[in-house]
Amino acid sequence: MRTNWEWEQFGEDIRRTVQDAVDSRDFRRLNQTITDTVNSAFHEFTDGMRNPRGGYQYQKADYGTGRQKDRTKGAWQNLDLNQLKRPTLYAGTRAKKAAGLTMTITGYTIAGCLLIGGLITGVTGMLLGAGVGVSVALSIQVILLAVFTALGITGTKLLSRVKRFQTYIEELQGREYGNVKDLALRVQKKDKFVVKDLETMIRKGWFLQGHLDEQKACLMTSREAFEQYQELMAQARQQKAREQETKERQKADADRRAGLDPKVQEVIEAGNAYIRKIRECNDAIPGEVVSEKMSRMELLTKRIFARVEQNPEVVTDIRRLMEYYLPTAVKLLEAYEELDAQPVQGENILSSKKEIEDTLDTLNIAFEKLLDDLFQETAWDVSSDISVLKTMLAQEGLTKNDFSTGGK
């Protein structure tokens, strides 16, 4: 580990090398000599940090207390220095500041001279009599005065903007985003002023990758931050659309149920309670096999009660489902949940769980048959409509045989 004195000596070596080249006017070996010196110092530096385990250590001086702390750095030789390079986010201000100073000094200086010259011309004209030449000269001076005054004002505004730009960067403290309110508080301006100021800077390319959010409340200085913001906004819009769709569907369901018979509404509400209980048991039981069976049962039950909402007349057909099948299914699921939670799975527990799983398959088959029966009347109506349609087509001569060649 090099001490402060050694680093000073290292700097002195480079200084002496440069001075020797200047004195001898021989610069042919200057670059190679400095490169060798730097490489030598770097290797000594890394060798000094190597610890017995193959890692590396460095010491960071604590200038407040004079203490030094050892920290371990691993795989220094494999460090990719390109990963440490951060993208350039801000344009340089030196040229802008120089332009602002030039315009300010030039504008106000010449404007002051023109103002004094205009006063002298005006007084001379008043004393000697204002001729055409004096009037023309005075008019030209006034025009030039306005032009250079505007130039000075433009330069002053540019200098002020450069100063605010530097203040914005300081307020960000290396972050790739910042609140407009915080920036406005720092420069002691209103939020609207800062928003327009930032938009101008972004448009002029001062913030090389800068963007404002949709609400004009946050500045993002990197493309990565803006892309993350866009993803979050897209997710928020999708979530809002889903919530709106859910509200509309719930409202439509509520309106539809409002027109149902109170007894039918009571049956549907009881069915929804059973559906919620099946889902709760499914969430509590981790097994994939039984979870698939419960998910199937939940789906079938939902479709059964959706059919009841569409056709309330079938409510009498699900009496056995309400009085026996669903209560039995819930009891079995609760028992399975209790058995599955036991830390030791003996033969009796495993056998009981297998029996319940098989019973769930039987219940699902029964639910499927019930759902199919609930659509029996619709199937009859469809079959009748198809039969009538075929008869009409035949009477009109529009059956398949009537389209054959020759009209046969």
Question: Tens digit of pLDDT for each residue in 341-380?
Answer: 898 889 999 999 999 999 899 889 988 988 888 877 554 5
Contact 322, 295 (CB under 8 A): no
Higher pLDDT, 35 or 99: 99
- 269 φ/ψ angles, rounded to the nearest 5 degrees: -65, -40
Residue 203, strand partner residues: none
Report, as an integer, the average pLDDT of 386-397.
66
* pLDDT on residue 120: 81
Read off the pTM: 0.46
Strands 218-220 and 56-61: unpaired
Contact predicate 68/62, CB 8 Å: yes
Q: Which residue has the higher pLDDT, 128 or 75?
A: 128
329: which strand partners?
A: none
Mean pLDDT of 387-393: 65
CA gap 8, 30 in Å, rounded: 20
Distance CA 238, CA 236 (A): 5
Q: How many residues does the chain have?
A: 408
Half-sphere exposure of 357 (CA within 13 A, CB side): 15
DSSP H helical segments within 190-287, as ranges? 191-203, 223-258, 262-284
Residue 191 is predicted with a pLDDT of 93
Q: Which residues of 182-214 are buried (b: 16+ CB within 10 A; e: fewer)?
A: ebbebbeeeeeebbebbeebbeeebbebbbbbe
Residue matched to tokens 């004079």? 66
Domain boundaries, the chain: 86-173, 174-257, 259-378
Cα 223 from chain centre = 11
Spatial neighbors of 135 by CB under 8 A, at least 6 apart, are 125
Domain 259-378 has CATH 1.10.540: no
Angstrom distance (rounded) from CA 352 to CA 329 = 15
Taking 90 as the threshold, does the pLDDT of residue 157 lie above it? yes
Q: Which pLDDT tens digit goes with each residue over 39-69?
A: 554 455 445 444 444 443 434 334 344 444 4
Is the confidence at residue 176, as pLDDT, over 70? yes
For residues 108 and 147, is the Cβ–Cβ distance under 8 A? no
Strand residues in 97-136 grouped as ranges (E): none
Q: Residue 192 is which amino acid? A: K
In contact, 145 and 107? CB cutoff 8 Å = no
Cα 157 from Cα 193, distance rounded (Å): 14
Q: Give me the numbers of helices (H) and strands (E) for the chain, helices first please.
A: 13, 5
Closest CA to 6 of 35, 47, 44, 62: 44
Q: CA 342 to CA 350: how far, in whole Å?
A: 11
Residue 381 has pLDDT above 90, yes or no: no
Q: Which has more pLDDT, 34 or 284?
A: 284
Alpha carbon separation from 94 to 100, 101, 108, 162, 197 (Å, rounded): 10, 11, 21, 9, 19
The residue that leads in pLDDT, 253 or 379, is 253
Three-state SS for 70?
A: strand
Residue written as token pair 């972004």: 202
Residue 7 sits at φ, ψ, to 5 deg, of -65, -35
30 touches 17 (CB < 8 A): yes
* Mean pLDDT over each residue of the chain, to the nearest integer: 77
Q: How confident is the model at residue 392, as a pLDDT?
A: 66
C-alpha to C-alpha distance for 118 and 171, rounded to whole angstroms:
46
**What is the CB-side half-sphere exposure of residue 161 using CA atoms within 13 A?**
24
Residue 405: in which H helix or E strand, if any?
none
